[in-house]
Amino acid sequence: MLLMEGSQLLRALTIQHALTAVPEERFNRVARLAGRALNVCLSYVILPDRGRPCLKATHGFTPTDPDRWIAFTQAVLGGRTQAVIADLRREPLCANHGFVLSDPYLRFFAAQAICGPDGSIVGALCIADREADRLRPHDLPIFADLAAIADREISMVESATTDELTRLSNRRGFTLMGEHALALCRRNQQCATVIGIDLDRFKSINDNFGHAAGDAVLKTFAKLLVQRFRTADVVARVGGDEFAVLCSGATADSMKATISRLARDFSSSSLAHDYPELSWSAGVEDFNWKNSATLDDLMRASDRRMYRSKVSKRRLPAVTQSAVASNG
């Protein structure tokens, strides 16, 4: 499948749902350039959209069975970054394919992987023609360069949904993934919970130790969150020292143990050792698939609970133990 896998799946999903909102013209331009520069009768771009690979852009004629073309492209590329078939009639995988034996009677096909920022394949730029041996050796770098334009577009989308400092999702990425996750939960009649987390007394670290120290604290705390929550959970930095987590299939009660373990992780970390005044507060809000609550509603509710926790802690001596408020 033309998507990232394993631990990269969450980022792939963020990218693909961000791509849903990306104007098609970005990739239509790439398809047009490939068709004209390489003088072929068909060029197209495959990218994920709404959870599945699709023909994001085409130039030339429009394939009548997009799913079949996508399956064919995936089979030919097979995880490689480039595949060139000089004559489809001589390739066992393709010789009996409908678009070889009948209209449009294609003879040549080539695919170049489109990659995400980490090098994982997320799509493909493809060209095809009715004449065999359409690419000369010096055309191959041009073909790769054209796909690299799409790579850069993907990187721009990824950058728009990622916090540069912590590499977590940013607020936009959290919104894209969170809204999709809640839609799935509502469709599957499944619970979910949103956790708002805020670092206490973080400003004093910037004031007393400098912003470089503050940045290091944020990155370390982000790593603690990633290590403690599931890979399927959406973990984000949504503001300066504000974080949010969306956990599908979970409730405030079921997350108590996870939050307790996070508190222990924090207490034994370098953060608690180096900055004894630092702590964190959290607020947890449940999602009920039966009502119409939006992600924004849940975030506001979890923020209110988190700030109540923060206020209650101010009445106590400074400690590293976190305070958590939930509706569980």
CATH of domain 171-326: 3.30.70.270
Q: Which residues of 250-267 are buried (b: 16+ CB within 10 A; e: fewer)?
A: bbbeebeebbeebbebbe
**Apex 286 CA angle, 195 and 308, nearest 5:** 55
What is the domain partition of the chain in residue ranges?
6-160, 171-326
Q: For residue 242, which amino acid is it?
A: E
171-326 shares the fold of 6-160: no
On whether the pTM is more than 0.75, the answer is: no
How far, in Å, CA of 245 to CA of 169, rounded?
10
pLDDT of residue 7: 34
pLDDT of residue 264: 94
pLDDT of residue 9: 40
**Apex 54 CA angle, 4 and 65, nearest 5:** 135
User: Count of CB atoms within 10 A of residue 320's CB?
Assistant: 19
DSSP per-residue letters across 236-288? EE-SSSEEEEEEET--HHHHHHHHHHHHHHHHTSHHHHH-TT-EEEEEEEEE-
Using the Cα atoms of residue 102, residue 104, residue 110 and residue 111 in order, give the sign of their dihedral. Answer: negative
Q: Return all residues near 295 (Cβ < 8 A) that are at least 6 apart.
A: 175, 178, 179, 182, 194, 246
Among the four given CATH numbers 3.40.30.10, 3.30.450.40, 3.40.50.300, 3.60.21.10, the one describing domain 6-160: 3.30.450.40
SS3 category, 188? coil
Helices (H), the chain: 9-20, 25-37, 66-77, 98-101, 139-160, 171-187, 202-209, 211-228, 252-267, 270-274, 295-314
Residues in the chain, pLDDT under 50: 1-10, 13, 21, 23, 315-323
Residue matched to tokens 């209650």: 312
Identify the CA nearest to 72 among candidates 38, 111, 103, 107.
Answer: 111
